[in-house]
Amino acid sequence: MNATQQPTAQPAPPGTPRRRSDARRNHERVFAAALEVFGEFGLQGTVPQVAERANVGKATVYRSYPVKEDLLDAVVRHRLSELERISAPALAKADAAHAFGTYVILLFEHLACDRLLSEALADGRSTGRTGPLLDRLAHLMEGAKTAGLVRPDANALDLRIIFCGMCLQLVNIAERDPELWRRYAELTLQALRP
């Protein structure tokens, strides 16, 4: 997110009563603080850190997000929507056969700078959060497979193991150089070629 963009808090579920203006402001501050904390500390960020950064009490955080997992889910969804917005222009220019390769390269470059998303992908238990991203990759892979750019026997599990395995190792060695992440994106694509 660039300096001029302000994060927007996740909308309340349908049927939720309207919040007072001070409660809405607190919710927005909590969400903005969560983006910062989880951006810095990844999955290890804590609710007390978020509360302190937002200058509110922990109870204020828990009113909007009853457990840390709810807050993490909201932040990951926000990060995924940012990723979609960033990648949309490049995908619009790529034909169906090359969209998979384009997306994998963009994704790895983005993950180098996004500690939370890279850790969520590296964490095999986070598929509830990252499932939409993995589903999108699998869908794009099918287009590349039809064009003969991906081996015909490659499946969604292969993609998940290769892709998430690369993320896991890069996260484990605390690597954040986008060029190195790009190299592993290219190796991921090579591993899937016929």
Residues in the chain, pLDDT under 70 = 1-19, 124-127
Q: Looking at residue 1, what is its pLDDT?
A: 45
Q: Which pairs with CB-CB distance under 8 Å and at least 24 residues apart come from 60-63?
A: 60/26, 60/30, 61/30, 63/23
Q: Looking at residue 3, what is its pLDDT?
A: 40
pTM score: 0.80
Q: Looking at residue 10, what is its pLDDT?
A: 57
Q: Looking at residue 34, what is its pLDDT?
A: 97
Q: Looking at residue 127, what is its pLDDT?
A: 67
d(CA 81, CA 7): 11
Q: Looking at residue 12, what is its pLDDT?
A: 55
Q: Give all domains of the chain, ordered by start, each with its CATH number.
A: 21-66 (1.10.10.60), 78-192 (1.10.357.10)
